[in-house]
Amino acid sequence: MKLNFHIKPEIRILGVDDSALISDEIMIVGTVFRGGGWMDGVLRSEITRDGKDATEVICRMAKRSKHYGQLRVIMLDGVTYGGFNVVDISKLNKETGLPVIVVMRSYPDFEKIRGALGHFTDGEERLGVIEKAGRIEEVVTKKPENPIYIQKAGIGFDSAKKIVRLTATRSNIPEPLRVAHMIATGIVFGESRGKA
């Protein structure tokens, strides 16, 4: 596997975010971006709240898109979508053939996660998928006082860091994820909302 590669300024990225937990079916939104510049496409799918279909749905979202042939990276906003529907990033990487970069606004609180997963009969299994996402590393993007944290699959840390920095053009969060979040919250609530 090629873990380090040349990054074009207009590298095509699929960024995926979920919407609020307002029903058992949770909308997820994908944005197809050219680097940190502009948007080429919008995708939409549904996952089950606290279900186990997030990996498969995001995989299908990428592979069924007309942009699939151009995509070079998938970016996720954390590894849990629609509650505790955990994305297996190694599996997503293998099945799409695309590197996966997970972006987190803050270092995850594993004690809190373990507590919440205690309510699931298969909590240990879900925690295993979360832990399998690997080492969490800090990256400084636009705001030195506000670093973000990343995990990755199918890509080296240096390349992942370069892509995250290249695309965080408007805030400390890469554009594909910032915009996917705005669309998901805007469509569900009527007006987009910021993220804590």
Site of interaction with a copy of itself (CB under 8 A): 29, 38-39, 41-45, 64-66, 169-170, 175, 179, 182-183, 185-187, 189-192
Q: Are 150 and 161 in contact (CB under 8 A)?
A: yes
Closest separation in Å from C-beta 154 to a copy of itself: 24
Nearer to a copy of itself, 64 or 195 (CB): 64
Tokens coding 87? 């994305």
Nearer to a copy of itself, 45 or 90 (CB): 45
Q: Which residue, among 149, 131, 23, has the nearest Cα to 83 in the 3D structure? A: 23
Distance CA 74, CA 70 (A): 12
Closest separation in Å from C-beta 35 to a copy of itself: 13
Q: Which residue has the tokens 């380090």?
A: 4
Nearer to a copy of itself, 39 or 113 (CB): 39
Closest separation in Å from C-beta 177 to a copy of itself: 13
Nearer to a copy of itself, 29 or 153 (CB): 29
Closest separation in Å from C-beta 138 to a copy of itself: 25
Closest separation in Å from C-beta 61 to a copy of itself: 8
Query: Other C-beta atoms within 10 Å of 76: how many?
Result: 28
Helix (H), strand (E), coil (C) string for 14-60: EEEEECCCCCCEEEEEEEEEECCCEEEEEEEEEEECCCCCHHHHHHH
Nearer to a copy of itself, 144 or 190 (CB): 190
